[in-house]
Structure 1
Amino acid sequence: MGRKVTVATCSLNQWALDFDGNLQRILTSIEVAKSRGAKYRLGPELEVSGYGCADHFYESDTLLHSLQVLKKLLESPVTQDIICDVGMPIMHHNVRYNCRVVFLHRRILLIRPKMQMANYGNYRELRWFSPWSRSRQVEEYFLPRMIQEVTGQETVPFGDCVLSTKDTCIGSEMCAELWNPRSPHIDMSLDGVEIFTNSSASHHELRKADQRVSLVKSATTKSGGIYLYANQRGCDGDRLYYDGCCMVAINGDIVAQGAQFSLDDVEVVTATLDLEDVRSYRGELCQPHLEHDVKSCRRVKVDFSLSSGDDVFLPTHQPITWQFHTPEEEISLGPACWLWDYLRRSGQAGFLLPLSGGVDSSSTACIVHSMCVLVCQAVQDGNVQVLRDVRRVVGDEAYCPQRPKELCGRVFTTCYMASENSSEGTRGRAKDLAAQIGSAHLNINIDLAVKGMLGVFSMVTGKLPQFRASGGSVRENLALQNVQARIRMVLAYLFAQLSLWARGKPGGLLVLGSANVDESLTGYFTKYDCSSADVNPIGGISKTDLKSFLLYCVDQFQLPALTGIVAAPPTAELEPLTDGQVSQTDEADMGMTYSELSVIGRLRKISKCGPYSMFCKLIHMWKEAFSPSEVAQKVKHFFRMYSVNRHKMTTVTPSYHAESYSPDDNRFDLRPFLYNTRWTWQFRCIDNEVSQVEGNAQHQ
């Protein structure tokens, strides 16, 4: 009958400017798709160049090398007898576009430029690309000579058009276009397009996957059709982790699901579906002829069928229930995959982490342990690429990891940096956790280095600062804390460079940071202390989520040491102990709890609240716990801390982006770092409201 089609979509772990690797992964995905009977293969956004090229998109080299890769794809026998849909940058009339290039049998069928750009949050597409703003309009694109030599074509259609095969009609939309209130698939479906494709570079954020799945399901619930979603996977050179989730849907149901977190560089998802199901669905729900203002899509006719002539006995894919990860699982898997990409592509031999025995550094340690679990599982599953990468990282071509704990000992070094202000409790918790995960653990005493630094200061000035507990001023007390923290950073880098050398092994280590998103929000860390590192896997995760994550790890990874770590009060241990006990806690220093900070962070970034509007919201949200004057005090205190310390975010360690209220100054949160920290006008507005509320209360 010729009505069943087999289509393929994929998640690829592409790398910005890695044209050799990107080409090979694209070819592998096409080969797998063909082996499963697919006649259409969809890949991720900008898969040829890598999505994260950023200002490299300005360079003519990036455009040239992308065309050279396209030439290789067109020439390859692998790409024959299947419609290939690849993403790459194209310049047309001296304007750069983010495009889909669709080809078959060494001929380009069409080039479809992106029409609605992602230009918010982590994305700056309008910096490098222009949107195609001419709806339903197509121009002739003159192919470069190198492509003409392969295809025999001088020009190809460029613009907003769809593909019309012998048996169906296929239309493209790209990433942000699905999220846009005027998504192209609406008009396309009303004009008879039956298969929609979406190539994306969509990053992971905690609790975000369900939004993506809901959008894909909704796209075909409203007007029927088949929807293919492809996505980038992995770290392609920045703070983002692209989390796959390629999928196929029909008439509002997901029928095929790819993995959200995986170490596989290439994942192909195929589905066989019946076009008559789309037509029957639309026959009842949709009557496009009643829509008078719908413009017809420009169709590019293709002498090719996605279906075969005799497919009666070909089974079709049935609806499935999407299996979502919990936030704790997401923290365990996402940053772990990101760290593995970073390690294997950095040329380094492992990680070094200053392990304090607190929640933050312990969370980072558990993420590295989770990475080792994933690597061992991938090797056991026969992933040749992962095994090859492991051997290169450890410098042993015969090595094959057997257990996560044993691999951890090879690639992970932890160190407890003790001072006279450190407690036995934190030292013991760090030692126990290191033993349970298997890291190579060092005990380092920093007192000699601290005394040396203070000795230099005393020799020059004739003065020796004292802690507050010994009669020193606030300035002296803070300076003495900071010198300890900064010496830990210097020692971390020294041991990262030389600890393997001291053990007779090759290579250096990447230093891991462990400041959480809430500490970054208030600037509750020392600039250039041991929060300064090469990468930070928890820099976009809240303290509340990290505690839940550690409790999850207790059972998931059999790490009982974490129970005591979660129960202990968070402390920097930079001030003298009182009778051997910690006298300083993080929440006391910050003047608010971590859970309060999470609420404030979301209001500041997601709800776009300044001091006054934040106060107006919090007096209702916190009315059971705090009076209006207490809420005002907390809001003022936060904005003072935030604005005084905002400069620290200009030097913050690159962090895994996991939270939508991240204060990362370098990519995500574009706000000043020099403020009038008194906020006179804003705080006066708050005070006026407090006076009015309290005055009304007195008269009642």
Structure 2
Amino acid sequence: MGHLVTLATCSLNQWALDWEGNKDRIVKSIHQAKAVGATLRVGPELEISGYGCLDHFLEADVYLHCWEMLEKILTDESCHGILLDIGMPVAHRNVRYNCRIVCLNGRILFIRPKIFLANDGNYRENRYFTPWSRPKYHEEYYLPRRIRNLMGGTIKVPIGDVLLSTPDTCIGIETCEELFTPDSPHNQMSLNGAEIITNSSGSHHLLRKLDQRIKLVLDATAKNGGIYIYSNQIGMDGDRLYYDGCSMIAVNGEIVAQGSQFSLTDCEVITATVDLEDVRSHRFAPSRGQQAVQSTAYHRIETDFALSDEKAGYIHGKSPGPARQIRYHTPEEEIALGPAIWMWGYLVRSKQAGYLVPLSGGIDSCATAVLVFSMCREVMKAIEAGNKLVLQDVQRLSGEKSDWKPKSAQEFCGRIFHTVYMGMKTQSSAETRKRAKDLAEAIGAYHVEVDIDEVFEAQKKLITTLGFEPKFKVHGGSHQENITLQNIQSRTRMVTAYMFSQIIPTARGGDRGLLVLGSANVDECLRGYLTKYDCSSADINPIGSISKNDLKRFITYATKNFDLPILDEFIHAVPTAELEPITKDYVQSDEADMGFTYDELSDFGILRKQQKCGPYGAFLKLLHNEKWSSKYGPREIALKTKRFFHYYAINRHKMTTMTPAYHAEAYSPDDNRFDLRPFCYPPFWDGWSFKKIDEEVERIERDMGMEEKS
């Protein structure tokens, strides 16, 4: 005998503090869920306020406006007739909690606070909220007066870790981080008879992360049996993070519905019809029953609202959905989509005229430009799919009338994307100049080419007031002279880029400015191989947390999939800053300047952040790394390790001013939130950790010498 239930989860493009916009998207999702016959709708974490409010969660206004928006939802009769799981912060007894509000027909049934808070990496929930550190405990919450009035004078509702009993099933609630903890609440909830578990999340995109999230959902339902409804925010809500959606519904270890991971849709509702009897048959095992009997009980909130139809068995037009093939994107596709859609969200909300990239002819600025082109491609796909909101934004950004529509990604790119090549006659090669021009032409960008020699010479002339004329290294100058002259150029390019960002739209007949995009990759940031306040300084940086290796893979992918054969030239070009004069015997090389390959920098980034190694620990790890030990001896590995941590330490101050970057890599050096470390270090070369490395090298060499003699 079947008990069929149609369930709905959603991905919403919420914006921190966009009160009415967030409310409207919530209502839109409720309407879409009801339209397909769903009786339960689950939304993302903190969906009324937006997840990324950060320190705004310390303000009383946020809590007031959340209740005001919830009141509008509760009094909207078009939102009745469906069980609602809605997220917002709640203050209870002068303590702030991250909560789920469970509502039905204009009434609040109970409030469920988050038990385990996310407090690592990009997350600082303990800064704003307190965990409900009392599993299976509940008490009374006294409602605000405005909510009491619409609930007929009801003064209080339960708040705590409880289950919801309906006439046909039982529902448990967990929130985001709780899925990732070793002993997740869904284990005890399932043993207590909860057949449906909801999880509302604010989980950001990270390269290669989705498989972990899906695996946890599948494991939860494969082991416990049950239905798991996962909801996640999608889009850029005002910060470095992109929330990548992929809301889903799983039954007994199989995905039956999966939403998109990258989308320009502001409201995506995912539904599935499931059979409660499938859960019950999956759970009929004596060993599980024994654990269920031993488990302490939850308090249950009861409602007479049933999720399933009173009819048992066959219902015309309804049947359980089959298991689906899980959709994953390759890392190259993730790079093509995540930063692109994040940039679109930022551009639309900033209300500027478009983007500008200082295009050098190298792979980093190339990757940034191609990501903007990828953004334009996704915009065109959304328009072709009938997304009216995206089309309206395109028309507004382009300054066109409501009947205008771009015919291609290149045409739209030409309206909102601008590139500028800033060369010097003695430093810039004809190859980089041509590559920049050809790439801009291929993607349709509005391209400007200028030489900055006169500005450079004017700035350099100021130094002669000291009675001294600096020279480049290739002309016999010292290291300090060489660096000074390079930095004049790089900082001149930053000033020039911002000048053009403000005036190009005016020259083209517009009335707004452009946002400048940075193009420093994560590995260069780790090494500090950039000039403070040069072209690494920008408004936002789509590649600032992406490794050079991943960027190369992305460009290889885009060469074929975006039909851009010009990109092949960038892949095989030697990375160079082109800040020193080119001679017949010398061309500046990034890897030679840094003393590392980009592969090696990536290894150090993983050791430093993900594996949490200091200098000595990193050295020991590399000694046992086959890739390193087959290429270098212990002394060479020691020198590389000391060199990395030396430059990392002396350049840490640069990270405090880095352009806000899209967060894509787990070893991002973002100083402002993700990577919290000092920016003033003691000298490592004379420090204890380097002495330990030297002692270990000497011991290894002694042992190796003894082995050779024996």
SS in 2 for 1:283: coil
- For the aligned residues, what is the CA RMSD? 1.1
Q: Is 1:513 aligned with 2:485?
A: no
SS in 2 for 1:651: coil
- Counterpart CA distance in 2 for 1:401 and 1:171 is 47
TM-aligned CA deviation for residue 292 of structure 1: 5.6
- Counterpart CA distance in 2 for 1:391 and 1:19 is 25
Paired position in structure 1 for 2:75: 75
Paired position in structure 2 for 1:410: 415
1:45-444, aligned counterparts within 5 Å?
45-152=45-152, 153-284=154-285, 287-291=288-292, 293-310=294-311, 312-313=314-315, 314-398=318-402, 399-420=404-425, 421-444=427-450
- Counterpart CA distance in 2 for 1:631 and 1:109 is 62
Find the partner of 1:650 among 648, 656, 662. Answer: 656
Instruction: Supply the AA of the counterpart residue of 1:499.
Output: I
Paired position in structure 2 for 1:688: 695
SS in 1 for 2:233: strand
- Counterpart CA distance in 2 for 1:290 and 1:155 is 34
- Counterpart CA distance in 2 for 1:219 and 1:438 is 48
- Counterpart CA distance in 1 for 2:48 and 2:399 is 30
Paired position in structure 2 for 1:535: 540
Q: Is 1:453 aligned with 2:454?
A: no
TM-aligned CA deviation for residue 559 of structure 1: 0.6
SS in 2 for 1:287: helix
Contact 1:379 1:401 survives alignment (8 Å): no
Q: Is 1:669 aligned with 2:647?
A: no
Contact 2:440 2:447 survives alignment (8 Å): yes
- Counterpart CA distance in 1 for 2:328 and 2:677 is 34
SS in 1 for 2:164: strand
Summarize deviations over 1:94-144 as a string: whole Å, max 9, x none.
000000001001110110000000000000000000000111111110100
Instruction: Supply the AA of the counterpart residue of 2:297.
Output: S
- Counterpart CA distance in 2 for 1:468 and 1:247 is 59
Contact 2:191 2:291 survives alignment (8 Å): no
Contact 1:423 1:582 survives alignment (8 Å): no
Paired position in structure 1 for 2:557: 552
TM-aligned CA deviation for residue 4 of structure 1: 0.8
SS in 1 for 2:629: coil
- Counterpart CA distance in 2 for 1:220 and 1:291 is 16
TM-aligned CA deviation for residue 457 of structure 1: 2.9
TM-aligned CA deviation for residue 582 of structure 1: 5.9
Paired position in structure 2 for 1:487: 492
Summarize deviations over 1:325-367 as a string: whole Å, max 9, x none.
0000000000000000000000101000001111100000110
Instruction: Supply the AA of the counterpart residue of 1:518.
Output: D
- Counterpart CA distance in 1 for 2:145 and 2:614 is 55
Instruction: Supply the AA of the counterpart residue of 2:203.
Output: S
TM-aligned CA deviation for residue 145 of structure 1: 0.5
Instruction: Supply the AA of the counterpart residue of 1:515.
Output: A
- Counterpart CA distance in 2 for 1:488 and 1:418 is 9
Summarize deviations over 1:216-270 as a string: whole Å, max 9, x none.
0000011100000000111100000000010000000001000000000000000
- Counterpart CA distance in 1 for 2:530 and 2:288 is 61
TM-aligned CA deviation for residue 611 of structure 1: 0.5
Instruction: Supply the AA of the counterpart residue of 2:25.
Output: R
Summarize deviations over 1:20-67 as a string: whole Å, max 9, x none.
110000000000000011000000000000000011011110000000
Find the partner of 1:472 among 450, 472, 477. Answer: 477
Paired position in structure 2 for 1:659: 665
Q: Is 1:632 aligned with 2:633?
A: no
1:2-13, aligned counterparts within 5 Å?
3-13=3-13
Instruction: Supply the AA of the counterpart residue of 1:464.
Output: E
Mark the CA change 1:345 to 1:131 in structure 2 (over 3 Å): closer, same or farther: same
TM-aligned CA deviation for residue 465 of structure 1: 1.1
Instruction: Supply the AA of the counterpart residue of 1:237.
Output: G
Summarize deviations over 1:58-81 as a string: whole Å, max 9, x none.
111000000000000100122100
Instruction: Supply the AA of the counterpart residue of 1:81.
Output: G
- Counterpart CA distance in 2 for 1:654 and 1:286 is 52
Instruction: Supply the AA of the counterpart residue of 1:49.
Output: S
- Counterpart CA distance in 2 for 1:304 and 1:246 is 25
Contact 2:34 2:82 survives alignment (8 Å): yes
SS in 1 for 2:285: helix
Mark the CA change 1:674 to 1:290 in structure 2 (over 3 Å): closer, same or farther: closer
Contact 1:2 1:309 survives alignment (8 Å): no
Contact 2:2 2:276 survives alignment (8 Å): no
Contact 1:8 1:33 survives alignment (8 Å): yes
Instruction: Supply the AA of the counterpart residue of 1:119.
Output: N
- The percentage of counterpart residues that share the same residue type is 56
Q: Is 1:41 aligned with 2:45?
A: no
- Counterpart CA distance in 2 for 1:217 and 1:475 is 58
TM-aligned CA deviation for residue 463 of structure 1: 2.1
Contact 1:231 1:244 survives alignment (8 Å): yes
TM-aligned CA deviation for residue 464 of structure 1: 2.0
Contact 2:204 2:242 survives alignment (8 Å): yes
Instruction: Supply the AA of the counterpart residue of 2:599.
Output: S
- Counterpart CA distance in 2 for 1:445 and 1:349 is 25
Unaligned runs of 5+ in 2: none
TM-aligned CA deviation for residue 289 of structure 1: 3.8
- Counterpart CA distance in 2 for 1:582 and 1:164 is 76
Contact 2:2 2:277 survives alignment (8 Å): no
- Counterpart CA distance in 1 for 2:108 and 2:676 is 41
Please say which of residues 631-640 and 504-513 is displaced more in the overlay.
Answer: 504-513
- Counterpart CA distance in 1 for 2:387 and 2:140 is 44
TM-aligned CA deviation for residue 291 of structure 1: 4.7
SS in 1 for 2:651: helix
Contact 1:223 1:286 survives alignment (8 Å): no
TM-score (norm 2): 0.97
1:574-593, aligned counterparts within 5 Å?
574-579=579-584, 583-593=587-597
Contact 1:2 1:307 survives alignment (8 Å): no
Instruction: Supply the AA of the counterpart residue of 1:528.
Output: Y
TM-aligned CA deviation for residue 284 of structure 1: 3.0
SS in 1 for 2:147: helix
Find the partner of 1:699 among 687, 700, 706. Answer: 706
Contact 1:395 1:506 survives alignment (8 Å): no
Instruction: Supply the AA of the counterpart residue of 2:680.
Output: L
